[in-house]
Amino acid sequence: MKPVVEVENLSKLYRLGGIGASSLRESLETLLGKKKTRPAPGASDARSGSDPNSFWALKDVSFSVNPGEVVGILGRNGAGKSTLLKILSRITEPTSGRAILRGRVVSLLEVGTGFHPELTGRENIFLNGAILGMKRAEIAAKFDEIVEFSEVGKFIDTPVKRYSSGMFVRLAFAVAAHLEPEILLIDEVLAVGDAGFQKKCLGKMDEVASQHGRTVFFVSHNIAAVSALCDNVILIEGGRCVMRDVPSKVISHYFSSILPEDQASDGQIFWSGDAKAPGNAEVSLRGLKLCGSAGVPQSTFEADEPFSVEIYFEIKQRLRGARFNLSFSTLEGEIAFVATDHIYQFENLEPGEYRSVCQVPGKLLNRRKYRVGLHFGIPGDRMLIDQADYLEVTIGGVGNQATIFPDQAWPGIVCPKIEWQVERFSGAFQPSKIG
Amino acid sequence: MAEVKAPPNYEIVIEPSRGWFRLRWDELWEYRDLLVILVQRDFISRYKQTLLGPLWHVLQPVVMTIVFAIVFGRIAGIPTDGIPTPLFYLCGLLAWNYFAQNITAGGATFISNAHIFGKVYFPRLIVPLSIVAANLVAFFLQTIPFALFFIYYKVTGDHAPEVQLTWRLLLLPLPLLHIAVLSLGISLLMSASTAKYRDLVHLNQFIIQLWMFATPIIYPISKIPEHWKWLIWANPMSVPVEAFRYILLGRGSLQVSEIVISVLVAIVSLFAGIAAFQKVEKTVVDSL
């Protein structure tokens, strides 16, 4: 049996100068030799082509897929998975290489593409179906099924602008779910709707793949869905296909590869002169640094890993009873915890340079971003450095509750490691007698 | 239940395209239902939900005609070849508005559909084609004021020789098709250029306005000095506008050579438009 999808050395070169609509003036200037050189973000990495203003979003990607396979595509943002899907959907052309798709293809890069608010649900089903490549007769044949699946019922002849967002999404997915292509390309569409409907959609997808023998490409950040639905997963990193294996292996590789790149980002802030440094005539903040066990500043830590916050400051006039309050808060501004060095601080701070280090234990924080802020003052007397956030720290990894969904938030501002004990318990439960 | 299966051995090859012209008729035909539904969408969204939508298409040419009659007829004193003033202007506007509406909407194909084009593949040509088809509805609405004035002059009996319905009416689809082909070509060229250079959108608006004055809508060709006439015939819209006048009002100066050249220009612009459009559509999504 021939593979249903064959991808050979597929590559896509993006010109950074060309991103965003260019203007006629720019082109004329280029033509006349007054070259516009836009700074190329990240162009120095390995993906840049010979021209510094271009980079390979995809480079020599090859794989093949057999009929009926459900293939997940995993990768960080910007790894190239959307580009791959766009090329396979024929939305944009590859720069080189080729792909052969044997069968009708439907790509769902979003649900409800082309829905028109003025049209009724009924009219939009036909419009959306036709945009996705269905014939009018096919849509008509499936119409009742689509309406039933969408649970929109009697509102089918109401303009969709009056729909709730839930109804809108349900109708849109219902159309998508009833397409009958041999190859289905799906991007993130399951990240919509309420949990109940999502479950229904996942069930429908599973049915499409397993019972109807269709080939499904599934790009998602929902690792749970990827591991539940996919037969195998392609891992894309830096525009290259780096791994193809069963979901469990790829997912664990994916997690282990998440951290290194982020460590390059700062995790520290320093002020060289007094002019900009927070403080006043008595004290001045010199810097703030987040360090893991390696002792180098970094801004991303595993949830179970302890790290330290180092505060560098200079005392210019003798201070008595001053202390730091260090805060960790969410991006929304909710305080996770505040730690103070009050009982550790010098009673009298003589002029000079100091360092105050807070050890943040591992197995405490949730997998999310926090802002690290502080203030310095003498309780009951006066504030010397006002409260402000200075750094951002990302807590990642598996998380303290050993959940494997990286982009699905675990509830709670913090997420401490909690010990459990589960055992077989013989004997009836008896309320303990008190006294 | 009607099951429509994809043909066996259906194979899509995705690779960088070569050559500058690759019109895939079979694919366009495959998506004919989408074309029809897009026309329907346009019709419903423009006319079903609003009262003013259809009314606008009736009022706009009437208001324009009144303005023209005052400014160009009375003040500037430009004659209308013995044709009743309202009929003269309305006839020209009938042809012109269809053209202008096509290129205004069609010229922004990539910009106004950037979102859909970024999410789904279908032959992009379907969109400008559907615009040219959908604007026929507006065209027929605009024939209403013309017909009313026509009947009025017929009943009152003035200008009897001009106000005469003849067999020539059967020829009307020809200049209409001429305008459709020309405007499709121009809108493809415009949408290709505006996708690449966003600032051209404003220029295009300006061109459309100027173009109208370069077309014999508010003045008859007979009033153009002989040595400037070539300029009028260099305008590919002159022939269809004159043809409209000839067919509907029995006045108009047309020669076979002019018609042939104008039709050729329309066809060449269509092919040039398709080529430019296809060059842009391959990777336009990357820059929209």
Structure tokens at B97: 């508005």
Q: What is the pLDDT of residues B59-74, one digit of tens each?
A: 888 999 999 988 888 8
- Please indicate whether, in this complex, the C-beta atoms of A24 and B119 are within 8 angstroms of each other: no
Give contacts of B33 with chain A, Cβ < 8 Å.
130, 134-136
Quickly state the pLDDT bin for A21 (edges 50, 70, 90): very low
**Mind telling me how many Å the CA of A136 is from chain B's nearest CA?**
6
- pLDDT of residue B23 exceeding 90: no
Which chain B residue lies closest to A185 (C-alpha atoms)? B120
Query: ipTM of the predicted structure?
Result: 0.84
Give contacts of B117 with chain A, Cβ < 8 Å.
91
- pLDDT of residue B137 exceeding 50: yes
Q: What distance in Å separates the CA atoms of residue A66 and residue A203, rounded to the nearest whole number?
A: 22
- Please indicate whether, in this complex, the C-beta atoms of B16 and A137 are within 8 angstroms of each other: no
Q: What is the pLDDT of residues A308-327, one digit of tens each?
A: 999 999 999 999 999 999 99
Q: What distance in Å separates the CA atoms of residue A218 and residue A232, rounded to the nearest whole number?
A: 10
- Looking at residue A63, its pLDDT comes to 93
Q: Which of B242, B183, B229, B174 is nearest to B207 (CA)?
A: B183
Asked if residues A129 and B38 have their Cβ atoms less than 8 Å apart, the reply is no
- Looking at residue A259, its pLDDT comes to 42
Q: What distance in Å separates the CA atoms of residue B195 and residue B111, rounded to the nearest whole number?
A: 6
Mean pLDDT of all residues in chain B?
A: 86
Task: Indicate the residue of B34, B120, B195 with minimum beta-carbon distance to A107.
Answer: B120
- Please indicate whether, in this complex, the C-beta atoms of A94 and B15 are within 8 angstroms of each other: yes
- Looking at residue A22, its pLDDT comes to 54
Give contacts of A21 with chain B, Cβ < 8 Å.
195-198, 287-288
- pLDDT of residue A196 exceeding 80: no
What is the rounded average pLDDT of the residues B28-47? 89
Quickly state the pLDDT bin for A238 (edges 50, 70, 90): confident
- Looking at residue A82, its pLDDT comes to 84
Which chain B residue lies closest to A136 (C-alpha atoms)? B33
A172 interface with B at CB cutoff 8 Å: no
Q: What is the pLDDT of residues A209-233, one digit of tens each?
A: 777 778 888 887 666 677 777 889 9
- Looking at residue A194, its pLDDT comes to 60
Residue A260: strand, helix, or coil: helix
- Looking at residue B77, its pLDDT comes to 83
Quickly state the pLDDT bin for A25 (edges 50, 70, 90): low
What is the rounded average pLDDT of the residues B144-165? 79
Quickly state the pLDDT bin for A435 (edges 50, 70, 90): low
- Please indicate whether, in this complex, the C-beta atoms of B11 and A101 are within 8 angstroms of each other: yes
Give contacts of B48 with chain A, Cβ < 8 Å.
118
To test the contact with chain B by mutation, choose from A107, A131, A160, A161 the residue with the greatest count of B C-beta atoms within 10 A, namely A131
Model pTM score:
0.70
- Looking at residue B3, its pLDDT comes to 39
What is the rounded average pLDDT of the residues B100-114? 91
**Mind telling me how many Å the CA of B283 is from chain A's nearest CA?**
5
- Please indicate whether, in this complex, the C-beta atoms of A18 and B13 are within 8 angstroms of each other: no
* Lowest-confidence pick of A32-46, A184-198, A219-233, A335-349: A32-46
Which chain B residue lies closest to A84 (C-alpha atoms)? B14
Task: Indicate the residue of A98, A103, A159 with minimum beta-carbon distance to B10.
Answer: A103
Give contacts of A25 with chain B, Cβ < 8 Å.
199
To test the contact with chain A by mutation, choose from B1, B12, B122 the residue with the greatest count of A C-beta atoms within 10 A, namely B12
Mean pLDDT of all residues in chain A?
A: 81
CB within 8 Å of B210: residues ≥ 6 apart: none
Give the HSE-up count for residue B76: Cα atoms under 13 Å, Cβ half-sphere.
12
B155 interface with A at CB cutoff 8 Å: no
- Looking at residue A27, its pLDDT comes to 66
- Please indicate whether, in this complex, the C-beta atoms of B37 and A18 are within 8 angstroms of each other: no
What is the rounded average pLDDT of the residues A32-37? 52
Asked if residues A427 and A412 have their Cβ atoms less than 8 Å apart, the reply is no
What is the rounded average pLDDT of the residues A402-424? 78
Give contacts of B6 with chain A, Cβ < 8 Å.
103-104, 181-182
- Chain centroid, CA B235 distance in Å: 14
- pLDDT of residue A395 exceeding 60: yes
Higher pLDDT, A203 or A136: A136
The separation between the first and the last C-alpha atoms of chain A, rounded to the nearest angstrom, is 76
- pLDDT of residue A20 exceeding 90: no
To test the contact with chain A by mutation, choose from B32, B286, B287, B288 the residue with the greatest count of A C-beta atoms within 10 A, namely B286
Give contacts of B16 with chain A, Cβ < 8 Å.
93-96
Scanning A93-122 for CB atoms below 8 A from B yields: 93-105, 107, 109-110, 113-114, 116, 118-119
- Please indicate whether, in this complex, the C-beta atoms of A130 and B4 are within 8 angstroms of each other: no
* Pairing label, strands A348-349, A352-360: unpaired
A157-161, long-range: CB < 8 A, 24+ apart:
A157/A120, A157/A121, A157/A122, A158/A120, A158/A121, A159/A117, A159/A118, A159/A119, A159/A120, A159/B49, A160/A115, A160/A116, A160/A117, A160/A119, A160/A120, A160/A121, A160/A124, A161/A117, A161/A118
Residue B114: strand, helix, or coil: helix
A242 interface with B at CB cutoff 8 Å: no
Give contacts of B17 with chain A, Cβ < 8 Å.
93
A326 to A143, A321, A352, A370: CA distances (angstroms): 60, 16, 21, 12
To test the contact with chain A by mutation, choose from B3, B13, B14 the residue with the greatest count of A C-beta atoms within 10 A, namely B14
**Mind telling me how many Å the CA of B95 is from chain A's nearest CA?**
29
What percent of chain A is modeled with pLDDT above 70? 81
- pLDDT of residue A260 exceeding 60: no
B226 interface with A at CB cutoff 8 Å: no
The separation between the first and the last C-alpha atoms of chain B, rounded to the nearest angstrom, is 41
Task: Indicate the residue of A98, A104, A130 with minimum beta-carbon distance to B37.
Answer: A130
Among left, alpha and beta (phi > 0; psi -120 to 50; other), residue A200 is: alpha
Quickly state the pLDDT bin for B6 (edges 50, 70, 90): very low
**Mind telling me how many Å the CA of A224 is from chain B's nearest CA?**
25
Higher pLDDT, A256 or B211: B211
B18 interface with A at CB cutoff 8 Å: no
B32 interface with A at CB cutoff 8 Å: no
Asked if residues B185 and B266 have their Cβ atoms less than 8 Å apart, the reply is yes
Q: What is the pLDDT of residues A340-367, one digit of tens each?
A: 999 999 989 999 999 999 999 999 999 8
What is the rounded average pLDDT of the residues B167-173? 87
* Lowest-confidence pick of A210-219, A327-336, B69-78, B128-137: A210-219
- Please indicate whether, in this complex, the C-beta atoms of A132 and B120 are within 8 angstroms of each other: yes
- The radius of gyration of chain B from alpha carbons, rounded to an integer in Å, stands at 21
- Looking at residue A164, its pLDDT comes to 85
Give the HSE-up count for residue B10: Cα atoms under 13 Å, Cβ half-sphere.
13
Asked if residues A170 and A146 have their Cβ atoms less than 8 Å apart, the reply is no
- Please indicate whether, in this complex, the C-beta atoms of A131 and B44 are within 8 angstroms of each other: no
Q: What is the pLDDT of residues B203-212, one digit of tens each?
A: 888 999 999 9
Quickly state the pLDDT bin for B82 (edges 50, 70, 90): confident
- Looking at residue A100, its pLDDT comes to 93
Task: Indicate the residue of A18, A87, A123 with minimum beta-carbon distance to B44.
Answer: A123
Task: Indicate the residue of B1, B10, B15 with minimum beta-carbon distance to A98.
Answer: B15
Q: What distance in Å separates the CA atoms of residue B93 and residue A49, rounded to the nearest whole number?
A: 54
A135 interface with B at CB cutoff 8 Å: yes
Quickly state the pLDDT bin for A43 (edges 50, 70, 90): very low
Q: Which of A106, A127, A242 is nearest to A176 (CA)?
A: A106
Q: What is the pLDDT of residues B178-228, one digit of tens each?
A: 999 999 999 999 999 988 887 788 888 899 999 999 999 888 888 888 888
